[in-house]
Chains A and B, each alone.
Chain A
Amino acid sequence: MSTPLLQVKDLEVAFRTQTGLVQAVRGVSFTLERGSSLAIVGESGSGKSTTAHAIINLLPGTGHISGGQVLLDGEDLAKASQKEMEEIRGRKIGFVPQDPMSNLNPVWSIGFQVEEAIRANGIASGRKEVKQRAIQVLKEAGLHDADRRLKQFPHQFSGGMRQRVLIGMGLAANPQLLIADEPTSALDVTVQRVILDHLESLTRELGTTLLFITHDLGLAAERAEQLLVMYKGQVVESGPSAQILQNPQHPYTQRLVAAAPSLASRRIQATGSISAAESAIATDASSAAGEAIDLIATAEARAEALEAAASQPPAIVVENLTKVFKIRGSGDFTAVDDVSFQIAKGTTTALVGESGSGKSTVAKMLLKLEDATSGKIVVGGHDLASVSGREMFGLRSRMQPVFQDPYGSLNPLRNIGNTIAEPLTTHKIGTAASRRERVFELLDQVSLPRTLVSRYPNELSGGQRQRIAIARALALKPEIVILDEAVSALDVLVQAQILRLLAELQAELNLTYLFITHDLAVVRVIADNVCVMQKGRIVEAATTDEVFDNPKEQYTRDLLAAIPGANIKLGA
């Protein structure tokens, strides 16, 4: 047998910091045979991207390989000189980076950046030849009008198009190995599927070996033959994809499989503090029977609650809502087009769609951060169009938002206590002492220690920050919470925690949620009803089960089919 294409042996990567060396990757080993595919899975900070960067020797900042070997065709890349690495990159190892928005130089045209890669790897020489090859590369990557768009700049391309350009650049020199570092994480699901399908057929055609880095277990299993699960810089489990998904051995992998929303199939049923999802995670043979009964009981309780809610007046009524933006030079743009829906008290309605579908604009109009062009929004019996400023102020206390980015939505200069208490002070509720008491109560509700009160946002993790944002939203005891991509920026395990928390809070406080997301997988575990939006219109609206089991619109079917790992059967 020939030597494997890539052999990583006991790879260690360290970063120098002020407090000494920090090990980011500890003793990672794996082998990649020619023409095979391997996915490294893990949450942020697990060292999966660092491993990828170590292979091509492009570690950021003070990062360096502190031990082990990276053997490409038997040659140790860890010891290669800068010049040798420059020969290997592009030619032997192609790289497709994570974020299409930041990985193209904004000041150079697309053509320039592709041609530069072709010239650097000696694929072609001479202006005409290089340009021909650039067009060919881009066409192969799925950019059909490449010849026309060579002169355009990155900002004139959509995210999906940019990712195609990056894939084209990565494959420009027909490398033997392609490292794809979260190549589609920043993209809409349907775009993601198209791009990954294309990448798959392209690499199969060229016989390229694929090393795939992702945080999405379902995606990894679907796209790679072998899986490597990383946690805190170490490999915790590796083997054939199907085997790992169906029979995870390591506790971390088990939790990851249980939490992956793309693999889950039921709405979280909250009963008090123990939720179905949590029990599912804890499942072992002895308690399985008891859990099953519990599941049925909670499902029935949920169904009763929904029936009760249906008999009350709805919390939110939206009728024929339309929003038109005036765009200088190119006329009007209808972001939201004749949208109508109702949300019953104590239930969750998900608004699903890809970026640009108008879902966030609906949320902004509901919160009256944006005025509707036409149509009606009734919240708790008040028509938003006719409420006075003072009434709106009162109404805002009953309707609170949680936004997507937990890093951007907390003021870094205010400590956690003040952040959570801010809605209370704004609405002049209680005394300083009672507000402090309420802050403690809220921290308890979102399962954070009370000691966080005096800490600042930069000291907290993303998941903790999102909990703070939720606590702030709950401070005024609102009836309605509008969650705009509130879990999209979080790792799967944290995402599962937050979703569970939301379900529990809903059961406890009878909250009404409008849940805005691009991720249908998340919808399944949190929502009662779903509205699917496309280009500003609601194309399908039904209960979550109906949408998932019996989608009527082609667009919904596309969205569902695009959920990675959706058709992977999990073992018992």
Chain B
Amino acid sequence: MLWYTGKRLLQIIPVLLGATFLIYFMVFAMPGDPIAALYGDRPPAPGVIDQIREQYHLNDPFIVQYFYYLLGIFQGDFGVTYSGQPVNEVLARTFPVTIRLALLAIFFEMVAGITVGLISGLRKGGIFDATGLAVSLVLISLPIFVLGFVAQYFMGIQWGWFSPTVGTGAPLEDLILPAIVLATISFAQIVRLTRSSVIETSSLDFVRTAYSKGLTRRRVVPVHILRNSLIPVVTYLGTDFGTLLVGATITEGIFNVPGVGRTLYQAVIRGEGPTVVSFVTIMVLLYLVVNLLIDLLYAVLDPRIRYA
């Protein structure tokens, strides 16, 4: 297990290098001059431009710029945004907010998705199952920005159940509505996944054997059906984490959440290379670590899996 974890951690290095290179290249290839974008209509003094170009190595060839950047990363320095803030500081401010949002979303989608999926699976073909399937299909088909605006308008503004936007410091109660919106699509996927997994497990031999031992349904369902059905659901969470990060960018925009997504979006618009690359690098890193954790969790859930 330890050896496996070490191996996986080592694998992160080439993936991270490749990812930063690709992103850096793409940002570099974006049209437009970042300095012009920074100053808008009133051009700065020519000397200032030169100074900024020098400071950010903008005169050097692409590959040299990239190496300067890498060098910084290995020293724990992600560079400075064009507005002068260290990227590290921006990361420290925005990441906790997004992590909180994502965890809340995962919580919602797990609890609701597994509950609905379990009931659907156990009552396959019933009214609950049919409704659940139809609703989940609608939710999967809806783009998250439509859902976001609709939820914001009705639940936030018309009915006033939740705060329509997120206030400073992003308190937990303000994050509930964005988290629900963010969780929706994955919720629908988890419902369907849990449902089919529960149906499959229910028909397996060991479930019948469990009943034949004299166990009650109340015991067989959680211990023998649900426990085994969760294995594919947990695996799904790994890839789902990526979807959540993408969704966060949109949701944060709609609800004005001061998190990673919104900051990243603004940096892309302004063409702020170092900021974009740093944020995406951290996201890639996070994604890799989360997937490693899920793989390790997988071995805990299924004792047949042994990593060597």
A interface vs B, CB < 8 Å?
Answer: 53, 56, 58, 60-61, 82, 86-91, 94-95, 97-99, 102-109, 116-117, 120-121, 153, 155, 166, 169-170, 172-173, 328-329
Contact = CB atoms under 8 A, between A and B. Distances in A.
A88 B203 CA distance: 21
Nearest to B230: A107
A155 B209 contact: no
B300 to A, nearest CB: 10
Interface residues of B, number: 25
B214 A89 contact: yes
A97 B215 contact: no
Given A60-B203, A86-B217, A91-B214, A106 B302 contact: yes
B213 to A, nearest CB: 4
Contacts, number: 92
Given A60-B203, A99-B205, A107-B228, A120 B304 contact: no
A117 B213 contact: yes
A435 B247 CA distance: 57
Contacts of A173: 214
A102 B205 contact: yes
Nearest 4 A-B pairs (CB), nearest first?
A: A90-B214, A95-B212, A117-B213, A102-B205
Contacts of B213: 89-90, 95, 116-117, 120-121, 169-170, 172
A361 B303 CA distance: 29
A97 B209 contact: yes
B304 A155 contact: yes
Contacts of A109: 303
Given A86-B214, A107-B302, A109-B303, 19 more contacts: A58-B208, A82-B217, A86-B216, A89-B211, A90-B214, A97-B208, A97-B209, A102-B204, A103-B209, A106-B304, A107-B227, A107-B228, A116-B219, A117-B215, A121-B214, A155-B304, A169-B209, A172-B213, A328-B308
B301 interface: yes
A170 B212 CA distance: 8
B210 interface: yes
Nearest to A53: B208
Nearest to B204: A102
Nearest to B218: A86
Contacts of A86: 211, 214-217
A120 B303 contact: no
A2 B55 CA distance: 102
A105 B228 contact: yes
B228 A89 contact: no
Contacts of B215: 86, 90, 116-117, 120
Nearest to B125: A62
18 contacts: A88-B214, A89-B212, A89-B214, A90-B214, A95-B209, A97-B205, A105-B228, A106-B206, A106-B302, A107-B227, A107-B302, A107-B303, A107-B304, A120-B216, A121-B214, A155-B303, A169-B213, A170-B213
Contacts of A102: 204-206
A64 to B, nearest CB: 15
A95 B213 CA distance: 7
B270 interface: no
B57 interface: no
A105 B308 contact: no
B224 interface: yes
Contacts of B210: 105, 116
Interface in B191-245: 203-206, 208-217, 219, 223-224, 227-228, 231
Contacts of A60: 203, 208
Nearest to A102: B205
A549 B210 CA distance: 45
